[in-house]
Protein backbone atom coordinates (compact mmCIF):
# COMPACT_ATOMS: atom_id res chain seq x y z
CA UNK A 1 0.00 0.00 0.00
CA UNK A 2 1.36 3.43 -0.89
CA UNK A 3 2.57 5.63 1.93
CA UNK A 4 0.79 8.45 0.11
CA UNK A 5 -2.65 7.12 0.91
CA UNK A 6 -4.81 7.98 3.92
CA UNK A 7 -7.62 5.57 4.77
CA UNK A 8 -10.03 7.58 6.92
CA UNK A 9 -12.46 5.34 8.82
CA UNK A 10 -15.42 7.45 9.89
CA UNK A 11 -18.91 7.57 11.36
CA UNK A 12 -20.96 10.78 11.32
CA UNK A 13 -21.99 10.25 14.96
CA UNK A 14 -18.50 11.07 16.25
CA UNK A 15 -17.76 14.77 16.87
CA UNK A 16 -14.00 14.16 16.82
CA UNK A 17 -14.46 12.57 13.40
CA UNK A 18 -16.13 15.77 12.18
CA UNK A 19 -13.09 17.71 13.41
CA UNK A 20 -10.74 15.35 11.55
CA UNK A 21 -12.90 15.76 8.42
CA UNK A 22 -12.30 19.52 8.54
CA UNK A 23 -8.51 18.98 8.38
CA UNK A 24 -7.75 15.83 6.39
CA UNK A 25 -8.50 17.14 2.87
CA UNK A 26 -5.99 19.96 3.43
CA UNK A 27 -3.37 17.58 4.86
CA UNK A 28 -3.83 15.27 1.88
CA UNK A 29 -3.53 18.17 -0.59
CA UNK A 30 -0.42 19.57 1.09
CA UNK A 31 1.35 16.19 1.21
CA UNK A 32 0.20 14.92 -2.21
CA UNK A 33 -1.68 12.06 -0.57
CA UNK A 34 -4.89 10.39 -1.73
CA UNK A 35 -7.61 10.53 0.93
CA UNK A 36 -9.99 7.56 1.01
CA UNK A 37 -13.15 7.98 3.10
CA UNK A 38 -14.05 4.58 4.59
CA UNK A 39 -17.55 4.45 6.09
CA UNK A 40 -18.09 2.10 9.03
CA UNK A 41 -20.76 1.67 11.68
CA UNK A 42 -19.22 2.80 14.95
CA UNK A 43 -21.79 0.90 17.00
CA UNK A 44 -20.72 -2.28 15.22
CA UNK A 45 -17.06 -1.51 15.90
CA UNK A 46 -17.79 -0.88 19.59
CA UNK A 47 -19.70 -4.16 19.84
CA UNK A 48 -16.92 -6.15 18.12
CA UNK A 49 -14.11 -4.62 20.20
CA UNK A 50 -15.75 -4.13 23.60
CA UNK A 51 -15.28 -0.36 23.33
CA UNK A 52 -17.87 2.30 24.21
CA UNK A 53 -18.49 5.98 23.61
CA UNK A 54 -16.36 8.29 25.80
CA UNK A 55 -19.58 9.93 27.04
CA UNK A 56 -20.49 6.64 28.74
CA UNK A 57 -17.99 7.74 31.44
CA UNK A 58 -19.59 10.92 32.86
CA UNK A 59 -16.33 12.62 33.92
CA UNK A 60 -14.73 11.87 30.56
CA UNK A 61 -17.84 13.10 28.76
CA UNK A 62 -17.71 16.44 30.60
CA UNK A 63 -14.00 16.85 29.80
CA UNK A 64 -14.53 15.85 26.16
CA UNK A 65 -17.23 18.49 25.70
CA UNK A 66 -14.69 21.16 26.64
CA UNK A 67 -11.90 19.56 24.61
CA UNK A 68 -14.01 19.53 21.43
CA UNK A 69 -14.53 23.29 21.76
CA UNK A 70 -10.77 23.77 22.27
CA UNK A 71 -9.91 21.77 19.15
CA UNK A 72 -12.50 23.59 17.03
CA UNK A 73 -11.03 26.92 18.19
CA UNK A 74 -7.48 25.65 17.57
CA UNK A 75 -8.34 24.91 13.93
CA UNK A 76 -10.71 27.85 13.51
CA UNK A 77 -13.66 25.68 12.49
CA UNK A 78 -17.31 25.94 13.54
CA UNK A 79 -18.61 23.40 16.05
CA UNK A 80 -21.79 22.97 18.08
CA UNK A 81 -22.54 19.90 20.17
CA UNK A 82 -25.67 18.15 18.88
CA UNK A 83 -28.40 18.23 21.55
CA UNK A 84 -29.90 15.07 20.03
CA UNK A 85 -26.68 13.06 20.61
CA UNK A 86 -26.36 10.11 20.50
CA UNK A 87 -28.03 9.60 17.13
CA UNK A 88 -28.34 6.18 15.50
CA UNK A 89 -26.25 6.61 12.34
CA UNK A 90 -27.14 3.35 10.55
CA UNK A 91 -29.15 5.06 7.80
CA UNK A 92 -26.58 7.85 7.42
CA UNK A 93 -23.68 5.41 7.14
CA UNK A 94 -25.57 3.21 4.68
CA UNK A 95 -26.09 6.41 2.70
CA UNK A 96 -22.33 7.04 2.66
CA UNK A 97 -21.55 3.48 1.60
CA UNK A 98 -24.33 3.55 -0.99
CA UNK A 99 -23.25 6.83 -2.57
CA UNK A 100 -19.67 5.57 -2.88
CA UNK A 101 -21.08 2.51 -4.63
CA UNK A 102 -23.82 4.04 -6.79
CA UNK A 103 -23.48 7.85 -6.93
CA UNK A 104 -19.83 8.71 -6.17
CA UNK A 105 -20.23 12.18 -7.68
CA UNK A 106 -22.52 13.08 -4.73
CA UNK A 107 -20.39 11.54 -1.98
CA UNK A 108 -18.30 14.60 -1.01
CA UNK A 109 -21.35 16.88 -0.95
CA UNK A 110 -23.20 14.33 1.17
CA UNK A 111 -20.42 13.94 3.75
CA UNK A 112 -20.04 17.73 4.03
CA UNK A 113 -23.81 18.20 4.40
CA UNK A 114 -24.26 15.46 7.00
CA UNK A 115 -21.27 16.54 9.11
CA UNK A 116 -22.62 20.13 8.96
CA UNK A 117 -26.10 19.02 10.04
CA UNK A 118 -24.64 16.92 12.82
CA UNK A 119 -21.95 19.21 14.28
CA UNK A 120 -22.25 22.77 12.93
CA UNK A 121 -25.96 23.63 12.76
CA UNK A 122 -27.19 20.56 14.61
CA UNK A 123 -30.32 18.80 13.45
CA UNK A 124 -31.97 15.65 14.69
CA UNK A 125 -30.65 13.27 12.04
CA UNK A 126 -32.43 10.42 13.79
CA UNK A 127 -35.59 11.92 12.23
CA UNK A 128 -36.31 10.74 8.67
CA UNK A 129 -37.77 14.14 7.68
CA UNK A 130 -34.56 15.92 8.76
CA UNK A 131 -32.43 13.42 6.82
CA UNK A 132 -34.66 13.91 3.77
CA UNK A 133 -34.13 17.70 3.96
CA UNK A 134 -30.34 17.30 4.11
CA UNK A 135 -30.32 14.85 1.20
CA UNK A 136 -32.56 17.04 -0.94
CA UNK A 137 -30.12 19.88 -0.26
CA UNK A 138 -27.41 18.01 -2.18
CA UNK A 139 -29.70 17.38 -5.16
CA UNK A 140 -30.94 13.86 -4.41
CA UNK A 141 -34.58 12.98 -3.82
CA UNK A 142 -35.55 11.47 -0.48
CA UNK A 143 -37.19 8.60 -2.41
CA UNK A 144 -33.95 7.77 -4.21
CA UNK A 145 -32.00 7.99 -0.94
CA UNK A 146 -34.37 5.64 0.91
CA UNK A 147 -34.16 3.15 -1.97
CA UNK A 148 -30.36 3.38 -1.80
CA UNK A 149 -30.12 2.73 1.96
CA UNK A 150 -32.57 -0.16 1.63
CA UNK A 151 -30.51 -1.84 -1.14
CA UNK A 152 -29.21 -5.25 -0.02
CA UNK A 153 -25.83 -4.71 -1.71
CA UNK A 154 -25.41 -1.36 0.07
CA UNK A 155 -26.28 -2.90 3.44
CA UNK A 156 -23.77 -5.69 2.82
CA UNK A 157 -21.09 -3.18 1.81
CA UNK A 158 -21.38 -1.27 5.10
CA UNK A 159 -21.17 -4.54 7.05
CA UNK A 160 -18.09 -5.58 5.06
CA UNK A 161 -16.43 -2.17 5.54
CA UNK A 162 -17.10 -2.34 9.30
CA UNK A 163 -15.73 -5.89 9.48
CA UNK A 164 -12.61 -4.81 7.58
CA UNK A 165 -12.09 -1.89 9.97
CA UNK A 166 -12.23 -4.23 12.97
CA UNK A 167 -9.91 -6.73 11.25
CA UNK A 168 -7.36 -3.92 10.73
CA UNK A 169 -7.44 -3.01 14.43
CA UNK A 170 -9.92 -0.12 14.43
CA UNK A 171 -11.68 0.33 17.79
CA UNK A 172 -13.14 3.82 17.42
CA UNK A 173 -13.46 6.90 15.22
CA UNK A 174 -11.76 8.71 13.69
CA UNK A 175 -9.07 6.24 12.68
CA UNK A 176 -6.57 6.92 9.91
CA UNK A 177 -4.16 4.52 8.26
CA UNK A 178 -1.11 5.65 6.34
CA UNK A 179 -0.11 2.38 4.74
CA UNK A 180 -0.35 -0.05 7.66
CA UNK A 181 0.40 2.61 10.31
CA UNK A 182 -2.71 3.34 12.41
CA UNK A 183 -3.52 6.68 14.04
CA UNK A 184 -6.59 7.09 16.27
CA UNK A 185 -8.17 10.42 17.11
CA UNK A 186 -8.38 13.94 15.68
CA UNK A 187 -5.48 14.85 17.99
CA UNK A 188 -3.10 12.58 16.05
CA UNK A 189 -3.27 14.34 12.69
CA UNK A 190 0.27 15.70 13.12
CA UNK A 191 1.42 12.08 13.20
CA UNK A 192 -0.62 11.36 10.06
CA UNK A 193 1.12 14.26 8.34
CA UNK A 194 4.54 13.06 9.54
CA UNK A 195 3.85 9.55 8.25
CA UNK A 196 3.09 11.02 4.81
CA UNK A 197 6.35 13.03 4.70
For the cut 90, the answer to whether the pLDDT of residue 2 exceeds it is no
Whether 14 is catalytic is yes
Catalytic option among 2, 14, 53, 141 = 14
**Dist. CA 118–CA 129, nearest whole Å:** 14
**pLDDT over 70 for what percent of the chain?**
98
Which pLDDT tens digit goes with each residue over 158-191?
Answer: 999 999 999 999 999 999 999 999 999 999 999 9
For the cut 60, the answer to whether the pLDDT of residue 135 exceeds it is yes
Closest listed residue to residue 18, CA positions, set 107, 100, 118, 94 = 118
Q: Which CATH class, in words, describes the domain spanning 5-196?
A: alpha beta
**Predicted structure pTM score:** 0.96
Closest listed residue to residue 188, CA positions, set 57, 38, 17 = 17
Q: Where are the domains of the chain?
A: 5-196
Which pLDDT tens digit goes with each residue over 19-63?
Answer: 999 999 999 999 999 999 999 999 999 999 999 998 889 999 999
Average pLDDT, the chain: 96
Amino acid sequence: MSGKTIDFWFDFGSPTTYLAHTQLPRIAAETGAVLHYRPMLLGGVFKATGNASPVSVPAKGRWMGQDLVRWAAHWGVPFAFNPHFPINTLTLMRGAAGLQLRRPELFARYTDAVFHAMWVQPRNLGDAAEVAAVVEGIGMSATEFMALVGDAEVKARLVAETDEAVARGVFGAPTCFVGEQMHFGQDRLDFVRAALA
